[in-house]
Chains A and B, each alone.
Chain A
Amino acid sequence: MHAMVHLERPAGSPANASNMATKVFARGVNVYYGEKHALKDVNLDVPERAVTALIGPSGCGKSTFLRCINRMNDTIPIARITGKIEIDSQDIYDPTLDVVQLRARVGMVFQKPNPFPKSIYENVAYGPRIHGFAKSKQDLDEIVMTSLKKASLFEEVKDRLQDSGTSLSGGQQQRLCIARAIAVSPEVILMDEPCSALDPIATAKIEELIDELRANFTIIIVTHSMQQAARVSQRTAFFHLGVLVEEGATETMFTTPRDRRTQDYITGRFG
Chain B
Amino acid sequence: MTNEHIAKAFDVDLQELTQKAAEMGGLAEREVADAVAALVRRDTELATKVISTDVTIDALQREIEEKAILLIARRQPMAVDLREIVGALRVCNDLERIGDLAKNIGKRVAVLDGDFSPQKLIRGVEHMAELVLGQLKRVLDAYAGRDLSGALAVWKGDEEIDAMCTSLFRELLTYMMEDPRNITFFIHLMFCAKNIERIGDHATNIAETVHYMIEGRPIADQRPKGDTTAFASLPVT
Chain A residue with Cβ nearest B6: A268
Q: Does A75 contact B (CB under 8 A)?
A: no
Q: Which residues of chain A are within 8 angstroms of B3 by Cβ–Cβ distance?
A: 264, 269, 271
Please name all residues of chain B whose beta carbon is closer than 8 Å to the beta carbon of A136 when the two chains form the complex. none
Q: Is the CB of B77 within 8 A of A267?
A: yes
- B216 contacts A269, C-beta separation under 8 Å: no
Contact with A256, one of B10, B76, B77, B217 (Cβ below 8 angstroms): B217
Interface pair B79/A267, CB less than 8 Å apart? yes
Please measure, in the bound complex, the distance between the C-alpha atom of A191 and the C-alpha atom of B171, giving whole angstroms.
Answer: 72
Cα(A146)–Cα(B3), bound, Å: 50
Complex CA distance for A16 and B235, rounded to whole angstroms? 58
Most buried by A among B3, B4, B7, B78: B78
Q: Which residue on A lies nearest to B81, using beta carbons?
A: A267
- How large, as a class, is the contact surface on chain A? 10 to 19
The count of A-to-B residue pairs whose CB atoms sit within 8 angstroms is 42
- Contact partner of B79 (CB less than 8 A), chosen from A257, A270, A271, is A257
Contact B7 A268 (CB under 8 A): yes
Q: Which residues 123-151 in B have Cβ within 8 Å of A in the complex?
A: none
Using A255-B216, A256-B216, A256-B217 as known contacts, say yes or no to A269 and B4 having CB atoms under 8 A apart: yes
Q: With a CB–CB cut-off of 8 A, which chain A residues contact B80?
A: 263, 267
In the assembled complex, the CB of A36 is this many whole angstroms from the nearest CB of chain B, namely 26
Question: Are B6 and A266 in contact, with the CB atoms below 8 A?
Answer: no
Q: List which B65-97 residues lie within 8 A (CB) of chain A.
A: 76-83
Chain B residue at minimum C-beta to C-beta distance from A226: B78
Please tell me the number of chain B residues within 8 Å of chain A, measured between CB atoms: 18
A230's closest neighbor in chain B, by CB? B78
A254 at the interface (CB under 8 A from B): yes
| Residues of chain B lying within 8 A (CB to CB) of residue A226 | 76, 78
Q: Which of B2, B5, B79 contacts A255 (CB 8 A)?
A: B79
Are B5 and A268 within 8 A (Cβ)?
Answer: yes
A227, B5: Cα distance in complex, Å: 17
Chain A, range 214-271, C-beta contacts under 8 Å to B: 226-227, 230, 254-257, 263-264, 266-271
Report which of A230, A255, A257, A271 forms a contact with B6, defined as CB distance below 8 A: A271
B residues near A255, Cβ cutoff 8 Å: 78-79, 82-83, 216
Q: How far is the CA of A66 from the CA of B162 in the complex (A)?
A: 59
Which residues of chain B from 190 to 204 have a CB within 8 Å of any chain A CB? none
A268 to B2 alpha-carbon distance, docked (Å): 11
Closest 6 pairs between A and B when the two form their complex, measured CB to CB: A256-B216, A269-B3, A266-B78, A267-B81, A268-B5, A254-B78
Tell me the A residues contacting B by CB distance below 8 Å: 226-227, 230, 254-257, 263-264, 266-271
Additional A-B contacts beyond A255-B79, A267-B77 (6; CB < 8 A):
A226-B76, A256-B217, A263-B79, A266-B78, A271-B3, A271-B6
Q: Please name 21 pairs of A and B residues whose Cβ atoms are closer than 8 Å in the assembled complex, sorted by A.
A: A226-B76, A226-B78, A254-B79, A255-B79, A255-B82, A255-B83, A255-B216, A263-B79, A263-B80, A264-B3, A266-B79, A267-B77, A267-B78, A267-B79, A267-B80, A268-B5, A268-B6, A268-B7, A269-B2, A269-B3, A269-B5
